Amino acid sequence: MPMKYQIYSSHNYRQIPQIEKLSKEDLQSIDVVGTVLPFKTNNYVINELINWDNYRDDPMFILNFPQKGMLKPEDFETIKQLFNRQADKTELKDAANKIRHQLNPHPAGQSHNVPILNGEKLMGAQHKYPETMLFFPTQGQTCHAYCTFCFRWPQFIGMDDIRFAMNQVDSVIAYIKEHPEITDLLITGGDPMVMKASILDAYITRVLDANIPHLQSIRIGSKSLSFWPYRYTTDVDADDIIRTFEKVSKAGKNLAFMAHFNHPRELSTPAVEQAISRIRSTGAQIRTQSPLLNHINAIAKTWSDMWTRQVKLGLIPYYMFVARDTGAQEYFGVSLLKAWDIYRRAYNKVSGIARTVRGPSMSCTPGKVRICGVTEVMGEKVFVLEFIQGRNPDWVARPFFARYSADAQWMDDLQPAFGKKEFFFEPELAEMLLD
Per CB under 6 A, the segment of 103-111, 140-148, 193-201, 212-220 that binds ligand SF4 is: 140-148
Per CB under 6 A, the segment of 186-194, 235-243, 361-369, 384-392 that binds ligand SF4 is: 186-194
From 179, 187, 176, select the one nearest 248 (Cα to Cα).
187
Q: Which does 346 bind (CB under 5 to 8 A by kind): ligand SF4, ligand PLP, none?
A: none
Helix, coil or strand: residue 15? helix
Helix, coil or strand: residue 25? helix
CA distance 339 to 408: 11
Per CB under 6 A, the segment of 107-115, 127-135, 145-153, 395-403 that binds ligand SF4 is: 145-153
Non-local CB neighbours of 294 within 8 Å, separated by 6+ positions: 323, 331, 332, 333, 334
- CB of 389 closer than 8 Å to CB of 368: yes
Burial 230-239 (b: 16+ CB within 10 A, else e): bbbbebebbe
Q: Give yes or no for residue 319 binding ligand SF4 (CB under 6 A).
A: no
Give residues in contact with ligand PLP (CB under 6 A).
Answer: 126, 128-129, 132, 134, 363, 368, 389
Nearer to ligand PLP, 33 or 133 (CB): 133
Q: Give yes or no for residue 59 binding ligand SF4 (CB under 6 A).
A: no
From 11, 19, 31, select the one nearest 76 (Cα to Cα).
31
- CB of 265 closer than 8 Å to CB of 306: no
Non-local CB neighbours of 289 within 8 Å, separated by 6+ positions: 258, 259, 260, 318, 319, 320, 321
Per CB under 6 A, the segment of 11-19, 147-155, 400-408, 418-426 that binds ligand SF4 is: 147-155
Helix, coil or strand: residue 338? helix
Q: Give yes or no for residue 190 binding ligand SF4 (CB under 6 A).
A: yes
CA distance 419 to 382: 12
Per CB under 6 A, the segment of 21-29, 127-135, 188-196, 275-283 that binds ligand SF4 is: 188-196
Per CB under 6 A, the segment of 185-193, 207-215, 365-373, 422-430 that binds ligand SF4 is: 185-193
Q: Give yes or no for residue 152 binding ligand SF4 (CB under 6 A).
A: yes
Q: Are strands 358-364 and 367-377 parallel, antiparallel or unpaired?
A: antiparallel
Q: Give yes or no for residue 195 binding ligand SF4 (CB under 6 A).
A: no
Q: Which does 67 bind (CB under 5 to 8 A by kind): ligand PLP, ligand SF4, none?
A: none
Q: Give yes or no for residue 150 binding ligand SF4 (CB under 6 A).
A: yes
Other beta carbons within 10 Å of 192: 23
| Nearest approach, Cβ of residue 422 and ligand PLP (Å) | 23
| Nearest approach, Cβ of residue 80 and ligand SF4 (Å) | 25
Other beta carbons within 10 Å of 305: 19
| Nearest approach, Cβ of residue 393 and ligand PLP (Å) | 11
Q: Give yes or no for residue 45 binding ligand SF4 (CB under 6 A).
A: no
| Nearest approach, Cβ of residue 364 and ligand PLP (Å) | 10
Residue type, 9: S
| Nearest approach, Cβ of residue 114 and ligand SF4 (Å) | 19
* Interacting residues with ligand SF4 between 220 and 259 (CB under 6 A): 223
Total of residues contacting ligand SF4 (CB under 6 A) = 10
Q: Give yes or no for residue 265 binding ligand SF4 (CB under 6 A).
A: no
CA distance 156 to 359: 28
Choose, by CB under 6 A, the member of 58, 191, 237, 305 that binds ligand SF4: 191
Q: Given the rule CB under 6 A, which residues bind ligand SF4?
A: 143, 146-147, 150, 152, 189-191, 223, 260
